[in-house]
């Protein structure tokens, strides 16, 4: 099912782990899983997209929330 890589080095494993962590809003764990995918395959587009999405979620700033 997976490539010849061990489970801890499998892109599919880390993508699934990152996706599950995202569903449970565990942003740090998800981010780290997608970074691991990028380390294994630097050109992996989906992992790069997910990292950018998590960055945008964590860096969101609503100026009106603090402006009475």
Q: Tell me: the pLDDT tens digits for 34-60?
A: 999 999 999 999 999 999 999 999 988
Within a domain: 6: no
Nearest to 46 by CA among 2, 16, 4: 16
Is residue 63's pLDDT more than 80? no
Within a domain: 66: no
Within a domain: 11: no
Please tell me the pTM assigned to this model: 0.79
Within a domain: 14: no
Quote the number of domains for the chain: 1
In terms of Cβ atoms closer than 10 Å to its own Cβ (0-12, 13-18, 19+), residue 14 is buried
Within a domain: 64: no
What tens digit of pLDDT does each residue of 10-38 get?
999 999 999 999 999 999 999 999 999 99
């Amino acid at each position: 099912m997976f490539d010849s890589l061990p489970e801890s080095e499998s892109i599919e494993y880390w993508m699934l782990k990152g996706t599950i962590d995202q569903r449970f809003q565990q942003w740090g764990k998800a981010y780290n899983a997608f970074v691991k995918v990028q380390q294994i395959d630097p050109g992996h587009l989906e992992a790069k997209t997910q990292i950018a999405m998590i960055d945008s979620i964590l860096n969101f700033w609503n100026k009106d929330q603090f402006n009475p």
